[in-house]
Amino acid sequence: MNKVYNDAVASLNGILFNGMTIMAGGFGLCGIPENLIVALRDSGTTNITAISNNAGVDDFGLGLLLQTRQIKKMVSSYVGENKEFERQYLAEELELEFNPQGTLAERIRAGGAGIPGFYTKTGVGTLVAEGKEHKEFDSEVHIMETGLKADVSLVKAWKADTEGNLIFRKTGRNFNPMMATAGKITVAEVEELVEKGELDPDQIHTPGIFIQRIIVSKGLEKRIEQLTTRQKNSEGN
Amino acid sequence: MNKVYNDAVASLNGILFNGMTIMAGGFGLCGIPENLIVALRDSGTTNITAISNNAGVDDFGLGLLLQTRQIKKMVSSYVGENKEFERQYLAEELELEFNPQGTLAERIRAGGAGIPGFYTKTGVGTLVAEGKEHKEFDSEVHIMETGLKADVSLVKAWKADTEGNLIFRKTGRNFNPMMATAGKITVAEVEELVEKGELDPDQIHTPGIFIQRIIVSKGLEKRIEQLTTRQKNSEGN
Amino acid sequence: MAWTREDMARRAAQELRNGYYVNLGIGIPTLVANFIPDGVDVTLQSENGMLGMGPFPYEGEADPDLINAGKQTITELNRTSYFSSADSFAMIRGGHIDLSILGAMQVSEKGDLANWMIPGKMVKGMGGAMDLVAGVKKVVVIMDHNARDGSAKFIKECTLPLTGVNVVDMIISDVGVFLITDDGATLIELAPNISISDVQERTEANFKIDKQLL
Amino acid sequence: MAWTREDMARRAAQELRNGYYVNLGIGIPTLVANFIPDGVDVTLQSENGMLGMGPFPYEGEADPDLINAGKQTITELNRTSYFSSADSFAMIRGGHIDLSILGAMQVSEKGDLANWMIPGKMVKGMGGAMDLVAGVKKVVVIMDHNARDGSAKFIKECTLPLTGVNVVDMIISDVGVFLITDDGATLIELAPNISISDVQERTEANFKIDKQLL
């Protein structure tokens, strides 16, 4: 079973359709599948429901799909970095469902793990709880949240082997591992592809069972959103 | 904050009490906290509720605590390897709650993750479902299972640093990572202790926040339950 | 001539497809690994936390940290990954395993399975069986067609406590192969020298007969 | 003389205890890291998937794969570990983080918090704030005591959409420090040259006054 595709366009061939639900990994612009997002834009797929913690910036990440109006609805926890997003939302051209970040992460994990619903304290008494089932455990009120799945998940890893075993790097990991489990089909964009047996089996973050297709990134930008530094010999941060 | 204790007895000092709930990691005799189990036996703590996938064998693992009648109740998925267990259970000297193995693993993860309840298809229509809340998702019936916590979790890892960051080895991992998160206090028994900074931060399985006390194993037996081998130059398994 | 254990395992191996992720139960299902057809590449999952299970180790090379769900010492392959029990059953419950092959005490004509408990006898526990049958995409049972006392194991309604309801997709017994769908059970293959009436005599469940057998 | 941002951060740092695992919000709470008392060893969590957050990198050494929850480039320490967002919020929701310090638009006298949304304005999202206040053992708010228009932010009932109900344990504002328990709010410290009546004038919430201030 060859899982390795030549490029992002080839890796999305035959699995996209208008009105589909996509998950895209990343936190801000960190750990996003850059090549796959561009290929998704170029595919012209429309009416996408995009599940992603953030919405990219105007000209990068999922922002590219907002520019072209391919996204119908976002399911996110924070979208503060994107002016075009704001414009479309205020003009009611875009639907938006906010989830608390931990609830979003857990809903995606649940979707991949065959858990259709779970209870959490997060959001009790807030707008997030409206319309949701409430239940007491140990005399504390909790709300029920549901699992999330996607037609296709697009994830970004550091290394993969040809089996689709993945290793992530630093905070580039973020939402990618759960999304890999919650896609009916998951495509992984990676910086380095190695042969089977080159990854330590104790150190694999995402087993290959969750990955159907793999590409190696070309021309990764890895843009930094907020470059914060300190001077050598200075104190504090 | 020094988390490192000299030996198993010292590491359990002050945290044990009669009637307590203990989680003990391991699958069969693989990845069990050998030294900690012996120290728990020697503490004389009684009326223990033990949450552990298995019950050890007669003279090893949790079987040691059955011999001394310190366990009041087991929460497990499979206990087939232990004659003394069978005797006590048939004589109604021991309570037993069977959980499907995946449900047990998920209940422990949920306990550590602040999820007091979740829904699963596992066990629907079986004895396991009796008395549990049923709910339909996508016209499929699911049952609600609850999170599990322990007063003290005893886990076994391969390596730790002095912060309590843990790495497990091969199938010795099993229930240990979730149990580490579900104990009010978690004590880790490890084969090797290294200084801070010696473990790759991308490769830590259990972050130190979950570990309050650490010991290095002495005289580990690592008993094999079913030694199965093949001859060199033979075919098949 | 009814099928042997090896015959049943060989027949079950024909259900494997290239690229499948497969969980094999203890007993006869374990033998299926010996009959994987040439050109079919499958990855074996062991529910205690491993994908890519290899054969038994050579003598003297067993590793106590490396066992399968039957607690036997095994080896790793160059595709192997390890994970926790929670992640393992998330994989199983989430529908990521393609095929599970396991044993049975009873199967009903609707695909109910009983394979963990006989009331009055010591109960060892269900282990991961309930999770596997609830979560895996396709569930194949390998079993002797009749119990030692000759009683039917493929029956109208299970009398033993269930492992799962409406979960079995195929039965491979020593007399033949049955498919079970929402439309009921169908006998689709016969072991050599076993007749349809032999099977009917030895079965309590209702089943149709595939037209290729008529 | 009311406290400055740095004064508030320094006061908040006194809530740190040796061995604490701490999550610091964006803005003034971030400054708390600069005032950790000598001999107090704390580990900072960043909810995007990191324990053991280090300072900003030296110029030229920023790593795009290493950012905090405010999307700023940071560094790792020799205690650092990385994990997924699901594991990060399992840690938060499960009550494993000792202390969270964050900003607020409004706090009620019962400890309700509003800090994510102003109706009629563009809503950026709650990010991880609802999870943090629901899960972390102790929640400390640092905020200006009054809004720019002079209106009270510590009030009887929040008028803005809530982030959490009954979640705030302590408020550190530019005029002083309040404890909030099930018995209500208590003013326990005053900024220099701020009188109790100053605070009363600038506060809508009911609060008791600690006897040491009388």
Quick check: do D and B touch, 3+ CB pairs under 8 A?
yes
Q: For residue B230, is it within any domain? A: no
B208 is written with which tokens?
Answer: 């130190």
Q: What is the CATH number of the domain that holds A177?
A: 3.40.1080.10
- Name every chain C residue with its beta carbon within 8 A of the beta carbon of A196: 78-79
Q: For residue B237, is it within any domain? A: no
Is D108 touching A (CB cutoff 8 A)?
Answer: no
pLDDT value of position A78: 95
Taking the C-alpha atoms of residue B171 and residue D59, their distance in angstroms, rounded to an integer, is 43
Give D51 to chain B, closest Cα distance, Å: 8
Quick check: do B and A touch, 3+ CB pairs under 8 A?
yes
Find out whether C190 and C199 touch, Cβ atoms under 8 Å. Answer: yes
Find out whether A171 and A133 touch, Cβ atoms under 8 Å. Answer: no
Give A169 to chain D, closest Cα distance, Å: 7
Is A219 touching B (CB cutoff 8 A)?
Answer: no
pLDDT value of position C1: 77
| Complex prediction ipTM | 0.97
pLDDT value of position A175: 98
Q: Catalytic residue numbers of C? A: 47
Neighbours of chain C (3+ CB pairs under 8 A): A, B
Give the SS3 label for residue D2: coil
DSSP secondary structure code for residue D34 in this structure? G
Give the SS3 label for residue A34: helix
Give chain D's radius of gyration (CA, Å): 17
Give A98 to chain B, closest Cα distance, Å: 20
pLDDT value of position A237: 43
Question: Within 13 Å of residue D178, how many CA atoms lie on the same side as its CB?
Answer: 32
Find out whether D177 and D155 touch, Cβ atoms under 8 Å. Answer: no
Q: In chain B, how many domains are there?
A: 1
C111: which residues sit within 8 A by CB, 6+ positions away?
A: C166, C167, C168, C169, C180, C185
Give the SS3 label for residue A210: helix
What are the beta bridge partners of residue C138?
Answer: C99
Find out whether C64 and B191 touch, Cβ atoms under 8 Å. Answer: no
Look at the pTM and tell me if it is higher than 0.90. yes
C149: which residues sit within 8 A by CB, 6+ positions away?
A: none
**Count of Cβ atoms closer than 10 Å to residue C149 Cβ:** 5
Q: Report CA C79 to chain centroid distance, whole Å.
A: 24
Is C80 touching A (CB cutoff 8 A)?
Answer: yes
- Name every chain B residue with its beta carbon within 8 A of the beta carbon of C127: 77-78, 100-101
Residue-wise pLDDT for D8-28, tens only, equals 999 999 999 999 999 999 889
CB contact under 8 A, D126 and A172: no
Of C155, C152, C102, the C-alpha closest to C126 is: C102
Find out whether A228 and D72 touch, Cβ atoms under 8 Å. Answer: yes
Range of the domain at A106: 8-115+149-216
Q: For residue B224, is it within any domain? A: no
Taking the C-alpha atoms of residue D199 and residue D208, their distance in angstroms, rounded to an integer, is 12
Interface of B with C in 4-63 (CB under 8 A): 27-31, 53
Quick check: do C and D touch, 3+ CB pairs under 8 A?
no
Q: Report CA A193 to chain centroid distance, whole Å.
A: 21
List of chain B residues with pLDDT < 70:
234-237
Query: What does the pLDDT average to over D122-149?
Result: 96
B33 is written with which tokens?
Answer: 């906290």
Q: For residue B105, is it within any domain? A: yes
Residue-wise pLDDT for D153-191, tens only, equals 999 999 999 999 999 999 999 999 999 999 999 999 999
Taking the C-alpha atoms of residue C22 and residue C25, their distance in angstroms, rounded to an integer, is 10
Give C81 to chain A, closest Cα distance, Å: 4
Is A163 touching C (CB cutoff 8 A)?
Answer: yes
CB contact under 8 A, D85 and A171: no
Q: For residue B204, is it within any domain? A: yes
Following CA atoms B231, B234, C3, C8 in sequence, which dihedral angle do they give, to the nearest 10 degrees? 90
**Count of Cβ atoms closer than 10 Å to residue C120 Cβ:** 6
CB contact under 8 A, B201 and D19: no
Residue-wise pLDDT for D71-121, tens only, equals 999 999 999 999 999 999 999 999 999 999 999 999 999 999 999 999 888
Give the SS3 label for residue A111: helix
Residue-wise pLDDT for C143-155, tens only, equals 999 999 999 999 9
From the list B115, B165, B209, which residue is nearest D91 (CB)? B209
CB contact under 8 A, A86 and D122: yes
Is D85 touching A (CB cutoff 8 A)?
Answer: yes
Q: For residue A58, is it within any domain? A: yes
Q: For residue A128, is it within any domain? A: no
Taking the C-alpha atoms of residue D213 and residue D209, their distance in angstroms, rounded to an integer, is 7
In chain C, whose CA is at the least distance from the CA of B233? C58
- Determine the residue type at A84: E
Q: For residue A139, is it within any domain? A: no
CB contact under 8 A, C95 and A114: yes
Q: Testing the interface with A: which of C79, C97, C100, C167 to mutate, by most A Cβ within 10 A?
A: C79
pLDDT value of position B234: 54
Q: Testing the interface with C: which of A166, A202, A203, A213 to mutate, by most C Cβ within 10 A?
A: A202
In chain B, whose CA is at the least distance from the CA of A114? B120
In chain C, whose CA is at the least distance from the CA of A116? C94
List of chain A residues with pLDDT < 50:
236-237
Q: What percentage of chain C exceeds 70 in pLDDT?
A: 100
Query: What does the pLDDT average to over C51-63?
Result: 96
Following CA atoms A62, A68, A72, A74 in sequence, which dihedral angle do they give, to the nearest 10 degrees? 20
